[in-house]
């Protein structure tokens, strides 16, 4: 575009120089006029090009911020994969002010979330309540998930309070009875009870 403009201006200057009666002064003046015209034309052209320049934002630029939806999922360590059982645990843990994670850990160790589980010693249901303990806690049907969980949560709450919030002693009492914990002044030296406390606490703190 600049070359075409310069060519046209030079043609115009050449035509002016061919006109008769031109003096040195007029030719010099004409040369000045040509220079001024050329600079003005180039200046105008540059100005127009600058005005026509448009800044294009990057393709990915946007005023909106897109974030991935947050999906809340329950850890497999604290789920029975049963909405009914999970619901009872949440409700009754809240009722007795016990950490639901602890209740899940006890049930996982005691019965593996099997509501019809019966141990060799006769403990029954999800939280493996012995018949005398179930009766003491007011549980009429130890195989009913709701009744069994309420009895078990109520019992572990009593043990937590008895041992001033010491979760390990409360678990030892849940497994071996508070009489043995009191007798030995701590976790009884029974391999079964020691393993029980270790596994439940491991799941609870995982």
* Nearest CA among 116, 98, 112 for reference residue 152: 98
**pTM (2 d.p.):** 0.64
Catalytic residue, chosen from 90, 110, 150, 161, is: 110
> Does 110 qualify as catalytic in the annotation?
yes
pLDDT, one tens digit per residue, over 169-190 is: 999 999 999 999 999 999 999 9
pLDDT, one tens digit per residue, over 7-65 is: 545 554 554 554 444 444 344 444 445 445 555 554 555 544 444 444 444 434 344 43
* Nearest CA among 89, 90, 125 for reference residue 110: 125
In the chain, alpha helices (H): 2-18, 24-52, 83-96, 100-110, 131-136, 145-162, 167-176, 178-184, 191-205
Residues paired with 101 in a beta bridge: none
- Give pLDDT, residue 13: 52
């Amino acid at each position: 575009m600049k070359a075409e403009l310069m060519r046209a201006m030079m043609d115009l200057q050449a035509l002016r120089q061919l006109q008769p009666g031109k003096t040195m002064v007029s030719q010099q003046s004409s040369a000045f006029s040509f220079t001024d015209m050329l600079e003005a034309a180039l200046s105008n052209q540059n100005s127009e090009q600058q005005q026509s320049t448009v800044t294009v934002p990057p393709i990915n630029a946007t005023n909106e911020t897109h974030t991935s939806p947050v999906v809340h999922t329950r850890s497999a360590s604290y789920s029975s994969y049963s909405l009914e059982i999970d619901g009872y645990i949440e409700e009754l843990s809240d009722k007795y002010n016990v950490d639901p994670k602890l209740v899940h850990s006890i049930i996982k160790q005691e019965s593996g979330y099997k509501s019809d589980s019966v141990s060799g010693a006769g403990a029954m249901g999800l939280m493996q309540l012995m018949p005398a303990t179930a009766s003491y806690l007011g549980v009429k049907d130890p195989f009913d998930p709701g009744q069994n969980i309420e009895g078990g949560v109520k019992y572990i709450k009593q043990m937590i309070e008895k041992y001033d919030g010491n979760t390990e002693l409360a678990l030892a009492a849940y497994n071996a009875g508070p009489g043995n914990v009191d007798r030995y002044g701590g976790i009884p030296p029974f391999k079964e009870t020691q393993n029980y406390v270790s596994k439940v606490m491991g799941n609870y703190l995982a």
